[in-house]
Amino acid sequence: MDYNSKRKKLALPEYGRNIQNMVDYLMTIEDREKRNKSAQTVIDVMGNLYPFLRDVPEFNHKLWDHLAIMADFKLDIDYPYEPPTPDSLLEKPNKVPYNQHYIKYKHYGRTMELLIKEAEKYEGEEREIMIAQIANQMKKSYLAWNKDAVEDEKIFGDLEELSEGKLVIREGMHLADTKTLVGKKKKPIPNKKKK
């Protein structure tokens, strides 16, 4: 028996063993013109595996790069694009610059802190509406991360603390009910047993 575990390891397994065999066959073709035509045929077959990506501008370039990788960079053909080098696969990606913001209550998130700062600029009825909306969203976020029920006073206290006392909750204000914020759990669809 011929098991995959005993075969040569695939450079790009997403294309499968048959495409790799085609690429290996390309390496054996001595006539350069025939090798170029055959390489184009292999690229067409590789493209057919992902038809939904055909309209992506860099997809064709990516296919030619993959062909070079699958041929272990030893395929001598006229590439329409500059083929990658073996060293380019070993390069480490650039470090992603993440924002390093201190978030006092992570379950509310950075966006909530920004909303609170924005709400401080409003006055009158608009301010009251924003405070109510922010408090309800804070309660919803709290419940998403902490499955325990939360008292409105806890949310009001956190809101005042995050706003440094600038957003004060008017007396008698109530937040939406927990069931309303979290929503009803969907009932699972019963399986119909075949008789």
- Which of 23, 54, 88 is a domain's end point? 88
Calculate the average pLDDT of the chain: 87
Tell me the residue range of the domain where 124 lies: 110-182
- Which CB contacts under 8 angstroms, 24+ apart, belong to 27-30? 27/71, 27/74, 27/75
Q: Is residue 26 part of a domain?
A: yes
Residue 53 has pLDDT above 80, yes or no: yes
Q: Is residue 95 part of a domain?
A: no
Q: Is residue 189 part of a domain?
A: no
* pLDDT at residue 192, rounded to an integer: 65
Which amino acid would we find at residue 63?
Answer: L
* pLDDT at residue 89, rounded to an integer: 85
The total of structural domains in the chain comes to: 2
Q: Is residue 195 part of a domain?
A: no
Same domain, 80 and 116: no
Q: Is residue 135 part of a domain?
A: yes
Structure pTM? 0.52
Residue 70 has pLDDT above 90, yes or no: yes
- CA 181 – CA 174 distance, rounded (Å): 13
- Which of 54, 88, 122 is a domain's end point? 88
Q: Is residue 40 part of a domain?
A: yes
Same domain, 45 and 76: yes
Residue 186 has pLDDT above 70, yes or no: no
Same domain, 121 and 173: yes
Query: 132-184: per-residue pLDDT in tens?
Result: 999 999 998 888 888 777 888 888 999 999 999 888 888 888 888 877 777 66
Same domain, 22 and 54: yes
106: closest CA among 30, 40, 158?
158
Query: 2-14: per-residue pLDDT in tens?
Result: 787 888 889 999 9
Phi, psi of 5 (to 5 degrees): -65, -20
Query: 76-119: per-residue pLDDT in tens?
Result: 999 999 999 999 888 888 888 887 888 888 888 888 999 999 99
Q: Is residue 49 part of a domain?
A: yes
Same domain, 119 and 172: yes
Residue 125 has pLDDT above 80, yes or no: yes
Same domain, 61 and 128: no
Q: Is residue 80 part of a domain?
A: yes
Same domain, 69 and 21: yes
72: closest CA among 26, 118, 136?
26
Same domain, 168 and 119: yes
Under the banding of pLDDT at 50, 70 and 90, the label for residue 193 is low
- CA 51 – CA 126 distance, rounded (Å): 51
